[in-house]
Structure 1
Amino acid sequence: MKMKGKKSLTVAAGLLLVVLLIAWSGVSETVKLLSQTRLRYLALACLISALETFLWSLRWQILLKQSDIRIPFKRVLEATLIGIFVNNVTPGARGGGEPVRMYLIKKRSESSYGKIFATIATDRMLDAIPIVIFTIIAFWYALDLGTHLVLVVLLVSVIIVVSVILLSILFSLNERLAMGLLMRIFRLIRRIFPRKFEDKEEKAEEIIKTHVMDFKKTFVMLSKNKLALFGSTTISFMIWISALLRTYLVFLSLNYPLALHKVLMVQMAGMAVGLISIIPGGIGITEAIFSALYLSLAIDKTLAVTATMVDRTLSFWIPTLVGALIATHLGIRLTEEG
């Protein structure tokens, strides 16, 4: 109850920050700007936002198929949306959605948790290539424009993202580190539920070791599969390009054709906000940072805040709501299936 209370407080603080941002930008000015929205561009932005989720699910299904895990695309899409929902209500590194994705695929297949998790880890790591390339381009533009705030946030963002990727690779390839981490997690769970896991450490260690071996074997196999990696990496670029186009269209719908390279700078600078936020989904903090980054590019405060809010609605709130609805429905169905 204490944890739930703290979580509720942080979410409330984030929502309050959103309200304060809108009030600061001017409520009447925001309403006026929204009333002039060009709906065809907003509709296109919505479609592209949906395309991002579709492409992410497609990329994951390619990896699942290459690992001999046969799952219908509909189920992969469901698991992806539920993972998005759980990640968006999880503070910090937003990793809560990955175990949920793994569990849902496990329910629909005969594969081991280790094998499924290897596809999820590979899926997440495939973002590294477009991130590095787009960040270098963003740095070049930021240096050319002399936007110090964007440069600083870009640097911090890169350090965080690269650290996460390197640590993921390290734990993926080092069996001892992976075993040590998972056993610490098991002991923590055992302390929380002492009766349920009493005298089960030896059995748990044996099960975890089997899954770690499955994970490592699948991860190495996927990393050597050039065709799967090429196809998945291509989709990764398409996902990031779609995200840039979505934001570009949001500004266009508000009658402001913001240059695509400026969209790129802000997107790459703000990508790691959610990883360090103590508020689930970075609510409030993400909006504030993105608005500040747009302001640093000499964009009017009402436009900066309104565009950020609209973009967050498409990229955060709508997928979170859809994922929550599917999770509720699927949860009932799974219970019925036993």
Structure 2
Amino acid sequence: MAGRRLRTTVLGFLATFLVFGALFTFVGVDDLVATLSSADTGVVALVVFVTVCWLAAWSMALKVVLGVLGVDVPPHRAFLIFAGAMFSNNVTPFGQAGGEPVTALLISRVADAEYETGLAAIASVDTLNFVPSISLALVGVGYFATETTLGRRLEVAAAAVVVLALLVPGLVYYGWRNRYGLEERAVARFTPAIRWVADKLPRTTPPSEAVVEERITGFFRSIERVATNRRGLALSLGFSALGWGLQMVGLWLAFRAIGHSIPLSIALFVVPIGAIAGVTPLPGGAGGIETVLVTLLALATGPVIGLEVATAAVVIYRGAVYWVPVLVGGAVMSVLTVRSRA
């Protein structure tokens, strides 16, 4: 199983390199390198600083959710946990979907919590992060539309934002109203699968059906505790919105680093839409997110900002957003691995 996961990750990174190669070839490697070499290193450092602040904001959202679930962690430990979570998302295919199980294990070890509690916490944070992103994207699209005429392709992107703004909350509401039925179906379907997997693992005793049912029920109860805590929801959404705002400022600063400027309203809807590409089977969405960001920026700015300038700014922005969590989170995961072996 570990070997299969490793092969999947390696193939994902190979696909990422191919996507980047195609993008940079299309833009022009020489022009891209020339633009990047002229970047203001001080402003680039500021992009990195804003990225760290974004991590801190979202780690506070995780701290609040864990507190609602009865798990108290100090801010610095929450930061390290969330950095490890982002590391898992960035090196596994399908973004959060691939990294959440690893993140739940990380939370259970660092915060001394049950695995299902950690899974409920990170799943809640990922869900809550969606609300401010779509809200800000709607504001950005609306404001940008008052300043200029949307092109055909931008109209499609704007329509996608509106559809998501209606569809996802509707699905969440449906799931909440039918949560007990979903819980029963989850128990019925996952219990045999979990016991089968545990039976195939070496030196592992399959848990009883009662234990599996208890843990699945515990996960749903944790989700319910988070959803019914209004103060916790408000704080988490506030920290999430702050994190999204910092990401958008980071993209705006990336353009400033290479001597150009874009309206902040463009960053408001470009960043959330680009993040949707994180669900691709590429590790952390790398390659897919960059391509979507460059395409949207080129459509939004037209001939004012050249394609190589947009690509250079995205490289600076995504270089910080991708590699800062990878480096910090990778260090956290390495320390935990050494300790567990010891």
What TM-score do the two structures reach when normalised by structure 2? 0.85
- For residues 181 and 147 of structure 1, do their structure 2 counterparts lie closer, same or farther at Cα, with a shift above 3 Å needed? farther
The number of equivalent residue pairs is: 334
Asked if 1:294 corresponds to 2:297, the answer is: yes
For 1:290 and 1:244, locate their aligned partners in 2 and report how far apart those are by CA, in whole Å: 12
Matched letter for residue 175 of structure 1: Y
1:237 corresponds, among 234, 241, 246, to 241
For 2:339 and 2:167, locate their aligned partners in 1 and report how far apart those are by CA, in whole Å: 39
Other-structure match for 1:328: 334
Other-structure match for 2:182: 177
- 1:93-113 Cα shifts (integer Å, max 9, x gaps): 532322223222322455433
Residues 135 and 268, structure 1, Cα contact 8 Å, conserved in 2 = yes
Structure 1: state its 5+ residue gaps.
Answer: none
Q: Displacement of 1:241 after TM fit?
A: 0.7
What TM-score do the two structures reach when normalised by structure 1? 0.86
Other-structure match for 1:217: 221
Asked if 1:257 corresponds to 2:261, the answer is: yes
Other-structure match for 1:84: 86
Q: Note the 1:53-132 alignment, pairs <5 A.
A: 53-92=55-94, 94-109=96-111, 111-132=113-134
Structure 2: state its 5+ residue gaps.
Answer: none
Identity %: 23
Other-structure match for 1:133: 135
Asked if 1:20 corresponds to 2:26, the answer is: no
Q: Displacement of 1:169 after TM fit?
A: 6.3
SS of 2:227's partner is helix
Residues 161 and 272, structure 1, Cα contact 8 Å, conserved in 2 = no
For 2:8 and 2:121, locate their aligned partners in 1 and report how far apart those are by CA, in whole Å: 33
For 2:180 and 2:248, locate their aligned partners in 1 and report how far apart those are by CA, in whole Å: 37
Q: Displacement of 1:45 after TM fit?
A: 1.1
Q: Displacement of 1:179 after TM fit?
A: 4.7
SS of 1:271's partner is helix
Residues 183 and 205, structure 1, Cα contact 8 Å, conserved in 2 = no
Q: Displacement of 1:170 after TM fit?
A: 5.5
Matched letter for residue 180 of structure 2: E
For 1:193 and 1:222, locate their aligned partners in 2 and report how far apart those are by CA, in whole Å: 29
SS of 1:11's partner is helix
Residues 82 and 100, structure 1, Cα contact 8 Å, conserved in 2 = no
Asked if 1:312 corresponds to 2:318, the answer is: yes
- For residues 164 and 197 of structure 1, do their structure 2 counterparts lie closer, same or farther at Cα, with a shift above 3 Å needed? farther
- For residues 103 and 127 of structure 1, do their structure 2 counterparts lie closer, same or farther at Cα, with a shift above 3 Å needed? same
Residues 274 and 290, structure 2, Cα contact 8 Å, conserved in 1 = no
Matched letter for residue 340 of structure 2: L
Matched letter for residue 246 of structure 1: G
Mean Cα deviation higher: 16-25 or 156-165:
156-165
